[in-house]
Structure 1
Amino acid sequence: MGRVLLADDHELVRETIAAYLTQNGAHEVTSVGSFDEAVAALKADDYDLVMLDYRMPGMEALDGLRDVAATYPNTPFALISGAAGPDIARHAIDSGAAGFLPKTLAPAELMEAVDTLIAGGFFLPDEAVAKMSSSLTPRELEVVRGIAAGKSNKEIARDLGVQEVTIKLHVKTLSRKLDARNRTHAAMRARDNGLV
């Protein structure tokens, strides 16, 4: 059982999710209707998971998420959305979210996602992971897996039977695709997104 803060300006959605999590997951849910109310609740109490609606007043797209995730680094945040796609999911993770929960998730999937997040894991829907992995070529995936395994560019080049300069080029390209600052960050982003 976890303590969940649910912030969504749609009362029906909020009540439905809260009731499901309470009845089926034995979670204690505090629900609020705006971002400002969520910030006030965070100041007043500790939560095992905070779920924020993407299009809620006060969120200012992902700025609100970025602010609270930085202020409460030990609290997992998840973005919930009815319409946002895989690109928003990726930006949510970049902004400090531990998960992205489409409102179209089946109830059992929602419960599994919430339990995973409370346990300290990450959650992205399959379509978001698929979009991320499909943006990398098979060779780029091999390279990022080599980086994640702690190998140097030279070692990866030897393993794949190519020149080291080719690996450097792949690292540059895959870092751009993963929006990573360097090869280590690329490996972390790939791991977070389930690619390695």
Structure 2
Amino acid sequence: MRILLADDHDLVRETIAAFLNGEDIEEIQTVATLDDAVDSVEKHGNFDLVLLDYQMPGMNGLDGLTRMQEVNGGKPVAILSGTAPREVAQAALKAGAQGFVPKTLPARSFLTAARFMAAGEVYAPIEMLRDREEVDENPLTSRERDVLRGICDGKSNKEIGFELGVQEVTVKLHVKTLSRKLEARNRTHAAMIGRDRNLI
């Protein structure tokens, strides 16, 4: 199976690419924009599955989905997002997206979803299609956002503490509380959610 992953956030792109590491995955190409994704298909041929970040440069809403569907010769194209509203997910599926995939899926679920979509099945987690109460746009405190920014920059707790003028144990506490608020499993997961929800 050949997969093309397009997302403009380096950390998110690299993490998802790592999730998609399976015995049946022959190739995973990663790019940062829709134009780069189109170029990749034109240079290397159609992919068994293309994953497009809903908010990356060039997408222009769901126009990017339509463009990629045409370029990829009708093979499966899915949308990646963690924050788009239910209406967008429904519109994407109605427009022919092979799936609407939250970036915060666990690694094993991500690979399963990819295989599912590449086989021609439509994937969308039920929680993205049902009505949900609006959540606070940014539940983090100013200091928690500072710590999250440091995590996204690849800094250790010690480095973040030095930069913010606080003890490493304090940073650890902030990491724990912000992870709980974001329902993140670990630092990398928290960074993915933070970037996807534009919390920093």
What TM-score do the two structures reach when normalised by structure 1? Answer: 0.61
| Secondary structure of 1:22's aligned partner | coil
1:21–1:27 contact (8 Å) kept in structure 2: no
Deviations 1:32-63 (CA, angstroms, capped at 9, x unpaired): 01110000011122210000000000001111
Consecutive unaligned residues of structure 2, counting only runs of 5 or more, are 132-200
**For residues 100 and 108 of structure 1, what CA distance do their matches in structure 2 show?**
17
1:78–1:98 contact (8 Å) kept in structure 2: yes
* Runs of 4 or more above 4 Å deviation: none
| Secondary structure of 1:104's aligned partner | coil
Residue of structure 2 in register with 1:4 after alignment: 3
Consecutive unaligned residues of structure 1, counting only runs of 5 or more, are 132-196
1:54–1:61 contact (8 Å) kept in structure 2: yes
Aligned pair in 2 of structure 1 residues 125, 24: CA closer, same or farther (>3 Å)?
Answer: farther
Residue of structure 2 in register with 1:186 after alignment: none
Code of the aligned partner of 2:18: A
Aligned pair in 2 of structure 1 residues 22, 128: CA closer, same or farther (>3 Å)?
Answer: same
Q: Please say which of residues 34-43 and 66-75 is displaced more in the overlay.
A: 66-75
Alignment of 1:1-196 (within 5 A): 2-23=1-22, 26-44=25-43, 45-131=45-131
Aligned pair in 2 of structure 1 residues 83, 130: CA closer, same or farther (>3 Å)?
Answer: closer
Residue of structure 2 in register with 1:136 after alignment: none
**For residues 24 and 14 of structure 1, what CA distance do their matches in structure 2 show?**
20
Between 1 and 2, higher relative CO (CA 8 Å, sep ≥ 6) is seen in: 2
1:53–1:81 contact (8 Å) kept in structure 2: yes
- Measured after TM superposition, the shift of residue 68 of structure 1 is 1.9
Say which structure is richer in helix.
1
Q: Which has the larger radius of gyration?
A: 1
**For residues 24 and 104 of structure 1, what CA distance do their matches in structure 2 show?**
22
| Secondary structure of 2:117's aligned partner | helix
- Measured after TM superposition, the shift of residue 70 of structure 1 is 3.4
**For residues 14 and 4 of structure 1, what CA distance do their matches in structure 2 show?**
13
Aligned residues between the structures: 130
2:5–2:30 contact (8 Å) kept in structure 1: yes
Deviations 1:151-191 (CA, angstroms, capped at 9, x unpaired): xxxxxxxxxxxxxxxxxxxxxxxxxxxxxxxxxxxxxxxxx
| Secondary structure of 2:57's aligned partner | coil
RMSD across aligned positions (CA): 1.7
Code of the aligned partner of 1:19: A
| Secondary structure of 2:21's aligned partner | helix
| Secondary structure of 2:101's aligned partner | strand
